[in-house]
Each structure stands twice: as C-alpha cells, then as structure tokens.
C-alpha cells in the first residue's frame, strides 16, 4: 500500500461538495477531499489489520507528508491503537508531527494516538513537558489534549496519579495564557477530571479559579455539585 493508493481510496469515498464546506469550516489552506470520518475509519481498520508495523509507519509518514486533510487524519488513525509493540518508532513519528499542528481536527486526532502511547509509558511525559514551553499554541494545547486519559481514570495507579498531578501543574502554568484554545483545554481537562476526582478539581478551582475566565471556570465546574 503506497500513500498514493491510500489517498485514492480515501478520495473514492468523498461526498460531492463536502470538500468546499470543510475548507470553510477548518479555515486552513490545504487540500480537502470531502471524505467523512466513518469512511476513513473503515479504511484505516483494514490497513491496520493487513499491514506490518513497519509498513504502517511508512504509510502514515507518507500520508502526513501529503498535507491533505483527510490523509493526515488517516495517518493519525493508523497509529491510534492501544497495543503497538514495539512502539518507540510510532511515538517518535507522532511527536515529530506536533510542531506541524495548525488546526484542531488534525491536532486532536494525533493527540488521541499520542495518548495511547503515554498511557503505555507515562515516562514520555518528560518529552511532552517540552511542548508546554513551545511558541506554537497547538503544541502547548497538545500537552493537555494528549494527556486526557490521566484525567479519566477512576482508579489511577501511583505513576498515573503522579502524571495527573504533573499535568495539573501545566494547567496552572497556562492560566496566564490569553489564547482561547488554551483556556478551553484547561477547562476541558478539569471538567473531565471532575467526573473521577471532584475533590481535586474543587481544590484547583479554590486555589486558581480567580485566574480563570468566568466561562472557563463554569465549564470546569460543570459536573460538580
């Protein structure tokens, strides 16, 4: 399977007129094919089953390099899997894409792939911490989006609890950031954590709530009673 063949397969599922709608919606100048996510999901499921890990990594890399919206989505989906063994090359490829983030849909899909690798090896947070200092807003945001699984654990192990606290420290450091996407990501992380550890979110809001925008504070506390 070559990237060109894969892009042809993705394009074959395009909906007439949808590409123009996507270009307006995503507001980033790149090629859009007009193919819906369920079609890409089905293709990537087949490719994951049929290809070796090495071939899958090569395909994902080629799809990303095309800079076609759906191809980049597919590249991330190809590497979105709980068990990838060995996974060092997959992690390296995912993190190499982070400096190229420029839109939420591609960034979020890639962060889902990254999150699987972080749960497998929380020590990778050392590298993610570098994203928090990036001048690129999308990279700073990715540090929170990729770590959402740690907010969603009901019974975290000690290493996972440590990871959770580490990310909360990053969230605190973001409170002075004026970008809406960053403020939204902080609120999102706290809101998800509140479903599993409401007392920890109450403590965060008690200590730092005044530094948050009213809408962000309300979103973070949405599920608190």
Average pLDDT score over residue span 206-216: 96
Q: What is the mean pLDDT of the chain?
A: 97
Predicted pLDDT of residue 213: 96
- Contact (Cβ atoms closer than 8 angstroms) between residue 28 and residue 103: yes
Q: pLDDT tens-digit profile of 152-208? A: 999 999 999 999 999 999 999 999 999 999 999 999 999 999 999 999 999 999 999
Predicted pLDDT of residue 7: 98
Q: pLDDT tens-digit profile of 105-114? A: 999 999 999 9
Q: CA 217, CA 213: separation in Å to the nearest integer?
A: 6
Average pLDDT score over residue span 81-96: 95
Predicted pLDDT of residue 23: 95
CA 109 to chain CA centroid, nearest Å: 5
Predicted pLDDT of residue 66: 98
| Residue 225 pLDDT grade (very low, low, confident, very high; cuts 50, 70, 90) | confident
Share of the chain above pLDDT 90, in %: 99
- Contact (Cβ atoms closer than 8 angstroms) between residue 68 and residue 31: yes
Predicted pLDDT of residue 84: 93
* The architecture CATH gives domain 115-225: Alpha Horseshoe (1.25)
Q: CA 100, CA 92: separation in Å to the nearest integer?
A: 14
Q: pLDDT tens-digit profile of 44-54? A: 999 999 999 99
| Residue 74 pLDDT grade (very low, low, confident, very high; cuts 50, 70, 90) | very high
Q: CA 54, CA 130: separation in Å to the nearest integer?
A: 27
Q: 74: which 2 tokens?
A: 């597919």
Residue from 140, 223, 225 nearest 185 by CA: 140
Q: Encode 143-200 in three state secondary structure.
A: HHHCCHHHHCCCCCCHHHHHHHHHHHHHHHHCCCCCCHHHHHHHHHHHHHHHCCCHHH
């Amino acid at each position: 399977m070559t990237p060109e063949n894969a892009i042809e397969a993705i394009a074959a599922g395009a909906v007439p007129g949808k590409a123009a709608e996507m270009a307006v919606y995503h507001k980033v100048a790149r090629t859009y094919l007009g193919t819906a996510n369920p079609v890409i999901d089905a293709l990537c499921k087949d490719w994951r089953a049929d290809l070796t890990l090495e071939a899958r990594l090569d395909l994902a890399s080629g799809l990303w390099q095309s800079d076609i919206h759906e191809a980049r989505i597919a590249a991330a989906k190809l590497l979105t899997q709980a068990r990838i063994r060995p996974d060092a090359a997959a992690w390296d490829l995912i993190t190499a894409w982070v400096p190229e983030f420029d839109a939420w849909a591609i960034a979020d899909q890639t962060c889902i792939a990254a999150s699987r690798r972080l749960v497998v090896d929380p020590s990778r947070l050392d590298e993610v911490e570098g994203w928090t200092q990036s001048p690129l807003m999308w990279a700073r945001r990715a540090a929170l989006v990729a770590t959402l699984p740690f907010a969603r654990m009901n019974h975290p192990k000690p290493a996972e609890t440590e990871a959770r606290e580490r990310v909360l420290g990053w969230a605190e450091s973001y409170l002075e950031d004026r970008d809406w996407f960053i403020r939204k990501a902080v609120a999102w992380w706290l809101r998800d954590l509140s479903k599993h550890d409401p007392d920890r979110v109450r403590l965060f809001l008690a200590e730092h709530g005044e530094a948050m925008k009213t809408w962000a504070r309300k979103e973070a506390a949405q599920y608190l009673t």
